[in-house]
Structure formats: C-alpha cells, structure tokens
Amino acid sequence: MNGSKYTSFKEYMDEIANSHQCAVVYDGKLVPEIPEGVERLPFIASEENKSKKGAEAIETFLFTCGLLRSDLVVAVGGGVVLDVTGFAASIYKRGITLHAVPTTLLAIVDASIGGKTGINTRWGKNTLGTFHLPERTIIDLDFLKTLPDAEFRSGLMEIYKIALLYSPALYGILTKWRPGFTPDLEYVIRTARTLKEEACRKDPFDRGERGRLNFGHTLGHALEEVSGYSLTHGDCIAYGMLFDLFPGKDEQLVHELFRWGGISFPLPFTARELWKPMQHDKKRTGSDVDFVSPSRSFTLSFPAFEKAYYEWNRIYTYSSV
C-alpha cells in the first residue's frame, strides 16, 4: 500500500474498525474487505447519483448509523463516490472526519487531493460543493489491477495535464508509455500527486494558482454534460486541453493523446450546445467564459468561442483523417 504503514486495504480497515466508530460508503461495483460489524453503504457510482438525492442518501445513512461528529466516514471508490461522500461528510453535523480510499487512477491523482467536494445539479457539473480535506488518504494500487482500460485512460489524461503544467520530466516518462506498458506507475502517481498537492497547498480555496489545474476543464466539463456523460472525464479533458492550446498545435501532444484511442473528430456538438453548460462553469468571473492553458488564462465571448470551436473542430477533423 502506497504512502502508509498498511500493506493492504484490509489491514487499514481492521485497524480503523478497532479504533474508531466508523461507517463506509463504497462503490457498489467493488467488493472491499470490510470487517463484520462495520456499517456500510454500497453506492451506485454514476453522474446521475452525484446529486442532491445521492448526497441525501448518504446523509440518511450516516444519521441512521448514529455517527457523532467525532466519528469517521470512509469513502471507498472513484471520483463520484469521493466527491459525493465528501460533500455529505462536510455538511453532516457541520463536518465529520473523512478518510478517502481512491480506487481508480483518476481518483488517486485528482479527486482525492485538495479537499474539493461536489455534486451535479440541473445547472451543471459540480455546481454545488464544499472544501473538506480528508484527514487521511489510503492508496492501495491493487485496486488498479481490475480497472477497465477506459478508466485507466481517464486518470492518465489528468496526469498528462499535471505534467504539461508543472513537469517536463514527468511528461517525458509518459511519452514512453503505451497501452499495456506503464512502467514506473507508482513513481508517476507519487510525482503527479505531489505536484497537485503543492498547487493546492499554495491556494487551498481555488482563488489563484490552483486555477491552473482547470486546464482542459471548461470545454471538458461541457462535453461531459452535453454527451449525457457517455464520454469519459479523461477523454473530455483531452479534448479540452487541445482546445485550450488552440490556435497553437503541439504535434507531439496531439500524437500522445490520440494514440491512447479515446478521442476522435469531428465532435458532433454545436458551439451553442456547449455554451449553455459553460455559462454555469464555476470558474466564470464575468459575462464571458474563462479558459486556462499552461501559458495563459483567457476569456471568450460566445461569438469568439463559436468561431474558435468551429475552426478547431474542422482543423482536427482534417488532420486526424
């Protein structure tokens, strides 16, 4: 088990169950080894359930368990489970202690770092949320052994983002990877986590430096929403990074993102369809919409976005044929 005194998730749970009054919320697709007698709630991890209704189900579970504010909630799963459980934990009796056990690559390098929680509303993705840092994050890489390829790629795109923002050396390692060949995975995860943790320490409430981590996310989150979440988070962020770098075009990066097989052009969505969810993007500071790249932050009005999106979609369609 990475970064802790435990050798397995089971060993961690055995100790916690003996030392704390706790309850576990876990991804219902998993079969985690939870000791007898520990209250548990299987949660269907979907963007539909990352909602007020999903958060209320967890809150009801915590109240039914009779947990005190001084007790403990353990969230076991990917980004959806960590986000919605973290949100419920942050408002349960004004904040109960949270431990995070991320079980996907995306959750390990993203959702479990920095204390952001969130749920979706009819206004868009993560439009309600809080900051609630896990007291402890437990990483067991054994969970990744059964991770579907699309989910691994989803986390990998976030690592590409962090590398492009902060570490040419990390990016160099990624260029040597290919599907089924990911040496030094533990080192890459540790490095990516360290880089994101440092950005979050400098800006814990996302008012400055931490905003750079939104590279790729303005268009990315809009694509997730208009696709009905049929596109994975990582693939949407890959599209978003390419857009944020436009009109520049890093041919090596294009090759890197395309070779993992998650993205293709043309995108079938109109600029108008994408603009609607972007109007509620949490980074927005005025009438226009904010975008971030490694070298700059910029805003676009709808006419400017429509023109840029059309040209970007056309050029990448032509170049990827």
Site of tokens 């699309």: 150
Q: Tell me: the pLDDT tens digits for 47-105? A: 999 999 999 999 999 999 999 999 999 999 999 999 999 999 999 999 999 999 999 99
Average pLDDT, the chain: 93
Name the residue with higher pLDDT: 305 or 1. Answer: 305
Q: Tell me: the pLDDT tens digits for 144-196? A: 999 999 999 999 999 999 999 999 999 999 999 988 888 899 999 999 999 99
The model's confidence at residue 320, banded by pLDDT at 50, 70 and 90, is low
Domain 9-146 top-level CATH class: alpha beta
**Nearest in space to 219 (alpha carbons), one of 233, 234, 235, 239:** 239
Average pLDDT over residues 235-256: 91
Q: What percent of the chain has pLDDT over 70?
A: 98
CA distance 170 to 66: 45
149-320: same fold as 9-146? no
- Homologous superfamily, domain 149-320: Dehydroquinate synthase-like - alpha domain (1.20.1090.10)
- Asked whether residue 3 carries a pLDDT value surpassing 50, the answer given is no
- Asked whether residue 5 carries a pLDDT value surpassing 80, the answer given is no
Average pLDDT over residues 13-36: 94
Residue 286 is predicted with a pLDDT of 78
Domain ranges of the chain: 9-146, 149-320
CA distance 174 to 150: 17
CA distance 252 to 259: 11
- Asked whether residue 248 carries a pLDDT value surpassing 90, the answer given is no
